[in-house]
Amino acid sequence: MEKMIVLFIIIPLVGFMISLVVPSRKENVISFVSVSTISLQLIAAIGFSFFWLWNHHHLIDLKEFSVYKATDYDFYIQFYFDRITLVFLLIGVLLTLLITVYSRYYMHRESGYKRFFNVILFFYLGYNIVVFAGNLETLFIGWEILGISSFLLIAFYRDRYLPVKNAVKVFSIYRIGDVGLILAMWLSHHLWLTNISFSRLNDYSLVHEQLSHHTLIGVVISLCVLVSATAKSAQLPFSSWLPRAMEGPTPSSAIFYGSLSVHMGVFILMRTFHFWEHQLSIRFLIGFVGAATSVVATLTARVQSSVKSQIAYASIAQIGLIFIEVAAGWEVFALIHVAGNAFLRTYQLLVSPSVVSYKIREQFYNFVPRSKTIEDSFPKRIENTLYLMSLKEWSLDSLMYQFLWNPLKRFGNKLNFLHFKTVFLIVIPVYVVGIVLLANRSALDPLLVNYLPGIFALIGLVLVMKAFTERTSVRLSWLLVILNHFWIALAISFNEHFDVVHILLYLSGVVLSGTIGFLGIYRLKNQEGKLDMNRFQGHVYEHPKIALVFLLACLGLAGFPITPTFLGEDLIFSHIHENQFFLALFVALSFIMDGLALIRIYARVFLGPHSKTYHQVAKRSS
């Protein structure tokens, strides 16, 4: 019966694959496949839950199979089931079924009807992988699926400027969270010398023994997990992305940012609780982040003019309270709070279109003056300050731009000397010199060998930062992303046990995806003429097949699970030594910037208002 866990992954996967081949014009068939898939999942979930509770609800730890195995490395898929999984499973299947039934009519005659249900099923597959994950590696697979699904649904109205712009912005915040998860996986591997399973984290003596000898590593791992959780659950300082994510259709806003995806940060904190429960500084920090977010989000929600924005900030405030409950160790209370918040926000978002008309009519026929609030008891200067700060959403967006994105852009703009001529005359010859040094590393000074991996990884990071800020040549940006992977492979090759087989596995995905992407760019350029990234060009409307193939190439090049590039990236981190922190940081940042640069290329070339004037163009602020 325990093997039934695999069915919870297979059912949505099969449903997603079937939905891909159904013709776009057959709305009834598309919706029937989606509703049937989730309904079957609900029946299986209820049946399995009764079985699990009847058999004394013991923990289930199921190692299914190894994806790739090498010396000191084993990437295996592992599933885990406990009461946390049970609660998130039932919440997920009930709300997803509700949304799919609701969307059958809400999305009727939308041009992207099939695309919407495809992404919903894809999202639900990723959600199940996350909640059933038995280790960080398996969880990361579902984590990445949630990220790309968010991007696709926020940018659902791809002929508009703001949905596409905000989709890229939300994806960039998700990638920041990915840095934390990647570094946590790397340090965990060195702490345990293997891929640690969540079931082993329940062993207090094992965890305590490791942390007593590696206190600093334990703190850093916990901080990395916290960064991932705050980014995914829109806690400070990343709170401003959630209202921007409401640009997608109302059903997708309800399932993603009202109920399921936004609670994944809480889930990963609860799943890793036994690792950091005795680190009091981390518990205080989680509680402080939750408390600060609750205060800021509550004040901001009270001055929002949009119903969706009010709901978004109210949800953020409640998740902040859940962070406090998790930090305090109140697991059952936190699970009840998650369920209540998820169902409430889903309901509020689904009825939000009718609430506006209802409130307008109520103001006309039943006007009630504003009652006295707690803010009225404050001194007037403080009250006005809070009001203005809340109107500006506490300048969270401005702070992100000022301290993160603008410095990256300024640095990238200083790399204008990097163009095709420079790449072929300087970058590639220097890479050949690096290969020569690698072949003769036994004859090199050991001190130089220690520094070379960091230097080569830094060169790769510089290249991909230029790719991220490139605004003229699409081909140059694509080429720089590919070269970044080659520089990373060269940097890690100086560490032992990273042999030729690992390099070939990693670079095979890079070369294949890079070649497909170049062919797509070349074909589009032949048909459309000049391509640049100064603005959104919207070529998906006239070239949907090229857009789809190019998106798949972007995912393959970005290391989307489970591609050869993804396995290679995980292999790379398993071979970075625990004292090579800067090397790990440069590599992690390179992989994150890879994803951002690739999604930016895809969005600028294929999404947004069409560059041709004979196409209908939505208003920029619509």
Write out pLDDT tens, residues 264-284: 999 999 998 888 888 888 999
- Mean pLDDT, residues 511-524 taken together: 90
Residues 6+ apart with CB under 8 A from 474: 521, 525, 531, 532, 533, 601, 604, 605
Residues 6+ apart with CB under 8 A from 114: 19, 22, 24, 27, 30
Of 82, 139, 132, 110, give the one whose Cα is nearest residue 25. 110
What the block records as the tokens of 254 is 């309800």
Residue 332: strand, helix, or coil:
helix
For residue 501, with 0-12 CB atoms within 10 Å meaning exposed, 13-18 middle and 19 or more buried, which class applies? exposed
What is the per-residue pLDDT for 622? 46
Is the pLDDT reported for residue 321 higher than 90?
A: yes
Question: Which pairing describes strands 60-70 and 73-81: parallel, antiparallel, or unpaired?
Answer: antiparallel
Which is more confidently placed, 213 or 103? 103
**Which residue do the tokens 């520089």 mark?**
487
27 and 108 in contact (C-beta within 8 Å)? yes
Is the pLDDT reported for residue 557 higher than 80?
A: yes
For 104-154, the three-class secondary structure string (H helix, E strand, C coil) is HHHCCCCCCHHHHHHHHHHHHHHHHHHHHECEHHHHHHHHHHHHHHHHHHH
Radius of gyration of the chain (CA): 25
What is the per-residue pLDDT for 174? 86
- Mean pLDDT, residues 226-232 taken together: 91
Distances (CA, A) of 593 to 230, 255, 599: 19, 28, 10
For 163-209, the DSSP string reads HHHHHHHHHHHHHHHHHHHHHHHHHHHHHHSS--BHHHHT-HHHHHH
Is the pLDDT reported for residue 329 higher than 80?
A: yes
- Mean pLDDT, residues 555-577 taken together: 79
**Which residue do the tokens 């590639």 mark?**
428
Instruction: Give strand pairing partners of 70.
Output: 73
Give the Cα separation of 276 and 288 in Å (integer).
Answer: 15
Share above pLDDT 90 across residues of the chain, in percent, rounded to a whole number: 19
Residue 76: pLDDT band with limits 50, 70, 90: confident
User: How far is residue 199 CA from its own chain's centroid?
Assistant: 24
Instruction: Give strand pairing partners of 80.
Output: 61
Share above pLDDT 70 across residues of the chain, in percent, rounded to a whole number: 91
230-257 pLDDT, tens digit each: 998 888 888 888 888 887 788 888 887 7
Is the pLDDT reported for residue 616 higher than 70?
A: no
- Mean pLDDT, residues 139-146 taken together: 88
Report phi then psi at 80, rounded to 5. -145, 140
161 and 536 in contact (C-beta within 8 Å)? yes
* Cα angle: 140, vertex 85, 352; to 5 degrees: 85
Instruction: Give strand pairing partners of 62.
Output: 79
Give the Cα separation of 593 and 465 in Å (integer).
Answer: 7
- Mean pLDDT, residues 318-344 taken together: 92
* Cα angle: 254, vertex 292, 340; to 5 degrees: 35
490 and 434 in contact (C-beta within 8 Å)? yes
597 and 468 in contact (C-beta within 8 Å)? yes
Residues 6+ apart with CB under 8 A from 163: 154, 155, 156, 157, 247, 248
Residues 6+ apart with CB under 8 A from 519: none
112-130 pLDDT, tens digit each: 888 899 999 999 999 999 9
Query: Over the chain, what is the mean pLDDT?
Result: 83
- Mean pLDDT, residues 293-317 taken together: 86
- Mean pLDDT, residues 538-559 taken together: 88
What is the per-residue pLDDT for 451? 84
Is the pLDDT reported for residue 509 higher than 90?
A: no
Give the Cα separation of 190 and 73 in Å (integer).
Answer: 11
What is the per-residue pLDDT for 423? 81
Amino acid making up residue 25: R
Give the Cα separation of 390 and 299 in Å (integer).
Answer: 6
Q: Give the HSE-up count for residue 147: Cα atoms under 13 Å, Cβ half-sphere.
A: 29
306 and 355 in contact (C-beta within 8 Å)? no
Give the Cα separation of 525 and 478 in Å (integer).
Answer: 14
Q: Which of 30-39, 173-182, 301-310 has the highest mean pLDDT?
A: 30-39
Residues 6+ apart with CB under 8 A from 522: none
112 and 103 in contact (C-beta within 8 Å)? no
What is the per-residue pLDDT for 337? 93
100-113 pLDDT, tens digit each: 999 888 888 778 88
Report phi then psi at 561, rounded to 5. -65, 145
Which is more confidently placed, 377 or 478? 478
Of 273, 322, 327, 267, give the one whose Cα is nearest residue 293. 322
- The DSSP code for 401 is I
What is the per-residue pLDDT for 336? 93
Distances (CA, A) of 313 to 78, 146, 290, 302, 307: 35, 21, 13, 9, 10
Amino acid making up residue 266: V
Is the pLDDT reported for residue 369 higher than 80?
A: no
Predicted TM-score (pTM) of this structure = 0.90
Is the pLDDT reported for residue 399 higher than 70?
A: yes
Give the Cα separation of 589 and 458 in Å (integer).
Answer: 10
23-40 pLDDT, tens digit each: 888 888 998 999 999 999
Instruction: Give strand pairing partners of 560.
Output: none
Residues 6+ apart with CB under 8 A from 367: none
